[in-house]
Amino acid sequence: MIELVDVSKSFTLHNQGSAVIPVMERASFKVEPGECVALTGASGAGKSTLMRVIYGNYIAASGQVLVAGLNVANAEPREILALRRETLGYVSQFLRVVPRVPTLEVVAEPLLDIGTEKHVALDKAASLLRRLNIPEHLWTLSPTTFSGGEQQRVNIARGFAHDYPAILLDEPTASLDAQNRQTVLTLIEEAKYRGAAIVGIFHDLDARRQVCTREINVSDFAPGMAA
Amino acid sequence: MNEYNFAYLDEQTKRMIRRAILKGLAVPGYQVPFASREMPMPYGWGTGGVQVSAATLTPDDTFKVIDQGADDTTNAVSIRKFFENTAGIETTEQTEKATIIQTRHRIPEMALSEDQILVYQVPIPEPLRFLEPRETETRKMHSLEEYGLMHVKLYEDISQHGAISTSYAYPVKVSDRYVMDPSPIPKFDNPKLEMDAIQLFGAGREQRIYAVPPHTKVVSLDFQDYPFEATKADHSCDLCGAEDSYLDEVIMDDAGHRMFVCSDTDYCRSRRDAGHLGRLAKEDAA
Amino acid sequence: MTPLLQVEGIQKHYGARIGCADVSFDLYPGEVMGIVGESGSGKSTLLNCLAGHLEPDMGRVIFDTRTNGPTDTVAMSEPERRLLGRTDWAFVHQHARDGLRMSVSAGGNIGERLMAVGERHYGNIRNKASDWLGRVEIEADRIDNRPTAFSGGMQQRLQIARNLVTGPRLVFMDEPTGGLDVSVQARLLDLLRGLVREMGLSAIIVTHDLAVVRLLADRLMVMKDGHVVEAGLTDQVLDDPQHAYTQLLVSSVLQV
């Protein structure tokens, strides 16, 4: 489902005298349906970067980034957009929404984007929000006014609204209490069970051990490391 | 030296106007620009109609002039005398005897024949002018047949007044192509615009001539659910009893008495000569 | 899939000065393309060349018309282009006053495009106008008011309704949220996103506001001095800018 072949990534800061900052090279691994792979490594080693490369948010300098057979590294914009709509989900650490849109609609949006009927989409959104303990009276409010933890849960609800075959999760349990953390882990288990390929970053060791089938240390892809 | 050229205008000018008229007839409803001359009456007093008549008259013609339907108002009399002096042609007040009729703001009640020409005096020839003040834009709209704006005007009428409130100068579509202002005739007269005679329209101040050839399709603009109605006052003529002619309302005294009379004076007279009598005529007779 | 719009080598000079040069891209149905750049970058020139308001010196703008398939709109006759502008294309101006008839009621403004393509039933026109007022969140009882009585945000929403009533497939927008209060902008952005999705619109949006483009556009082109210096997915261009100018632009955005 997800496969990286010899991927490298660096940043060139033109406004700092074109300083080149290499982040990773020769990154190769596969994630099969039903697997949940944890990216590990020290802070700054490139875990988030790698996730963003898979999502097409960062451009790979070389190599192939295959998601459901599509090479994200050189695909057409509309192919990547279609992939993100139907196949590849991404829960980042930040909730980025148009202000003023009610929470229920924020969560329903991925379903609406693939053409789901409105009432079906809203029902699914409602059930997810309930599981994540977002009280109903908040559903008509914009999540931009919520606390960090509440925003995180809305973010997760939105990420799981549609049954993506491939999911990227960046610190999904950060800033959550024990009960909500468990709910999120259950959601991940359910996704695994239906055959999704998941890549996640978990600082929380317990969470990692509970849901992840494998770990990949991104320090293995640090520049200058022998293969 | 006080002899005028026939019908006042020099031959070259008449030729120029005739070219504009021919072009107008060839493209029904299209406003043809022409080099309007200084006439011995000010703008707003029929200079366009006078120029068209002058270019159209021949020595054998019989000429009639009406102003709001009447032969005997000051303007009608002046223009008739003008052509008597400068063209020496025969004039008449009887519609069926005239070969050329110049009119301000009415179409004669009696149906005209293929041997007649009706010349209209036009103040503002551009039907889109009130909603689109730019001449550059209105010319484009006509040439590209972009007439949505015309219906916007009618839409606004209905939304504000509950019905299309335009009661004169009601816009029409000529020959399924050009939208035309038929001059400030009452909308009651619009159906008559489909006639056997030639219709010529002259606007002197605005320098435009347009025309509608005989038997041309002329449709008043409307909406499917608000169709055009040729309405008039709900009365008959108090002098001749006519039910089907456009009426003028005349205040008779300061006690509120009114009478309704045919605006077309010749029509009324001919009906009375034929023995038809209206309410007041009967009272007189009694 | 056929692109909805294929832009090839568009170039416009003002004398010796470059307005925009060598711009090429494809736009597919349902995509929203943002064009960003500072004043003088050539983005408005480009938009006007694409929308047929300016004649480019070189290049083609090929639109997938309903009746004749892909057709170069630059080479079209003016009547054809004007008809396109009333049916399949729409243009939302920065200042609502440029895109509305201020002396005509809201209902008349929305109804005009319908009447221009032959709608002749007053009741139907009024119903459609009411429907659209609802969709752009203007109260239905304002249908007979003139835009002069509306706030800036309402005028802008009315302009959108007027443009979208005939179901165009491609919408050009020039700084659609410029000059509006922040909260009004948010409302407008939300509305536009919803309409784009519901109606399957494609859009080309010119703006200098990176926040607007992040929320509204799928793809982004960055312009400087008349040239496109970078293009790609919006989030990728903003989060991983490759070109020096883009990096500078992104880092200059004030954080709230």
Q: How far is C192 from chain B (nearest CA, A)?
A: 26
By C-alpha distance, the chain C residue nearest B222 is C120
Is B204 a known active-site residue? Answer: no
Give helix C106-116 / helix C152-164 axis angle, nearest 10°: 20
CA–CA separation, C14 vs B78, rounded Å? Answer: 59
Residues B158, C122: C-beta atoms closer than 8 Å? yes
CA–CA separation, B62 vs B70, rounded Å? Answer: 17
The complex's ipTM? 0.87
Residues C247, A14: C-beta atoms closer than 8 Å? yes
- Do A and B count as touching (3 or more CB pairs closer than 8 A)? no
Under 8 Å CB-to-CB from C47, ≥6 apart: which residues? C35, C172, C174, C204, C206
- Residues A105, A108, A114: CA angle, nearest 5 degrees: 130
Give helix C122-135 / helix C152-164 axis angle, nearest 10°: 130
Counting as low any pLDDT under 50, the low residues of chain C are none
For chain B, the chains sharing at least 3 beta-carbon pairs closer than 8 angstroms are C
Is B240 a known active-site residue? Answer: yes
Nearest Cα neighbor of C25 from C237, C242, C249, C230 is C230
pLDDT, position A225: 61
**pLDDT, mean over chain A:** 90
Is B162 a known active-site residue? Answer: no
Cα B276 off chain centre by: 27
- Residues A115, A116, A119: CA angle, nearest 5 degrees: 135
C-alpha atoms less than 13 angstroms from C-alpha of A111 in its C-beta half-sphere: 23
3 state SS of B86: helix
Q: How far is C89 from chain B (nearest CA, A)?
A: 16
Where would I find the beta strands (DSSP E) of chain B?
A: 32-33, 62-67, 90-91, 100-104, 117-121, 172-174, 178-180, 198-203, 208-212, 218-220, 247-251, 258-262
Looking at the complex, does the CB of residue B139 fall below 8 Å from at least one CB of chain C?
no
Write out chain C residues lying below 8 Å of A57, CB-based.
Answer: 233, 235-236, 239-240
Options B202, B241, B262, B278, the catalytic residue:
B262
Per-residue model confidence as pLDDT tens for chain B (286 residues): 468 899 999 999 999 999 999 999 999 999 999 999 999 999 999 999 999 999 999 999 999 999 999 999 999 999 999 999 999 999 999 999 999 999 999 999 999 999 999 999 999 999 999 888 899 999 999 998 889 889 998 999 999 999 998 899 999 999 999 999 999 999 999 999 999 999 999 999 999 999 999 999 999 999 999 999 998 888 999 999 999 999 999 999 999 899 999 999 999 999 999 999 888 877 665 5
Q: Are B62 and B90 in contact (CB under 8 A)?
A: yes
Write out chain B residues lying below 8 Å of C79, CB-based.
Answer: 144
Do β-strands C170-174 and C202-207 pair in parallel, antiparallel, or remain unpaired? Answer: parallel
Residue with tokens 């108002």: B73
3 state SS of C17: strand
Q: List pLDDT tens digits, range A151-201.
A: 999 999 999 999 999 999 999 988 888 999 999 999 999 999 999 999 999
Per-residue model confidence as pLDDT tens for chain A (227 residues): 899 999 999 998 887 788 888 889 889 999 999 999 999 988 877 899 999 999 999 999 999 999 999 999 999 999 999 999 999 999 988 888 877 889 999 999 999 989 899 999 999 999 999 999 999 999 999 998 898 889 999 999 999 999 999 999 999 988 888 999 999 999 999 999 999 999 999 988 888 999 998 999 988 888 876 54
CA distances to A102, A107, B248, C142, C256 from A97, in Å: 10, 10, 69, 31, 15
Is B29 a known active-site residue? Answer: yes
State pTM to two decimals: 0.84
Nearest to B224 among C101, C111, C121 (CB): C121
